[in-house]
Structure formats: structure tokens, C-alpha cells
Amino acid sequence: MALDFTVADAVLFSRLGVAGVYTPAGGDPVDLVVILDQVDSDVGVPGVGVRAPERFVRVRVAELAAPARGATLVVAGETLTLGTPERDETGAVWRIGCRS
């Protein structure tokens, strides 16, 4: 039986999601639900062992059809600037790098 990613995403966002407000440059704010994520990545010279955290947000495409690089997202009072959006393997969720 194939996994229904729509249902899986709904469960994931209902359990881990937090309220956010997305605002594109010169546009109107949009309320949505996001999942904040952080991973450690190698930085600098490969093989040296220096790692730094990278922050990402995950947003359902159904809530935000076309996120823009440089837009802002406010979550729990923190303003994040968004990087380049990429769709996940299912095509139903945006994964977007961000910085404070």
C-alpha cells in the first residue's frame, strides 16, 4: 500500500507546525503554518571537521504557492529572511533555507 503523503504531511504539520507570518517584498502578509528545522553541515575546507547549523523552514505548497527569495517570515517574534525555495521529494512541501 502506497503512503498518502497528503495525509502524512497533514499529521506532521499538525504535530510539529507553528504559526508564522510570511511577507514578500512589497506584498501583503500571509498567515501560515511552518515547521522549523536545523541541520549541521560541513563548512569551510572539506574533511576538516568544522560543522555549523543551517536553518530551514518547511511550508506546505497548499498554503504558499510561490515563496520568494528575500521574503520574511516571522515565527514566535523572530524575523527570518528566506533563501531559495526548493520542493521536497513529494512536491507538496517547500524547504527554504533561512537566516535571522
pLDDT of 57 over the 80 cut: yes
The burial class, CB within 10 Å (0-12 / 13-18 / 19+), for 71 is buried
The burial class, CB within 10 Å (0-12 / 13-18 / 19+), for 34 is buried
pTM above 0.85, yes or no: no
Q: Tell me what pLDDT residue 2 has.
A: 47
Boundaries of domain holding 44 = 5-99
Q: What is the 3-state secondary structure (H, E, C) of 8-48?
A: HHHHHHHHHCEEEEEECCCCCCEEEEEEEEEEEEECCCCCC
Q: Tell me what pLDDT residue 90 has.
A: 87
Domain count, the chain: 1
Residue found by looking up cell 515565527 in the block: 75
User: How many whole angstroms separate alpha carbon 24 and alpha carbon 85?
Assistant: 13
**Segment 11-41, tens digit of pLDDT:** 889 999 999 999 999 999 999 999 998 765 5
pLDDT of 59 over the 50 cut: yes
- Tell me the sheet residues that pair with 34: 18, 59
Q: Tell me what pLDDT residue 1 has.
A: 42
CATH no. for residue 78?
A: 2.40.10
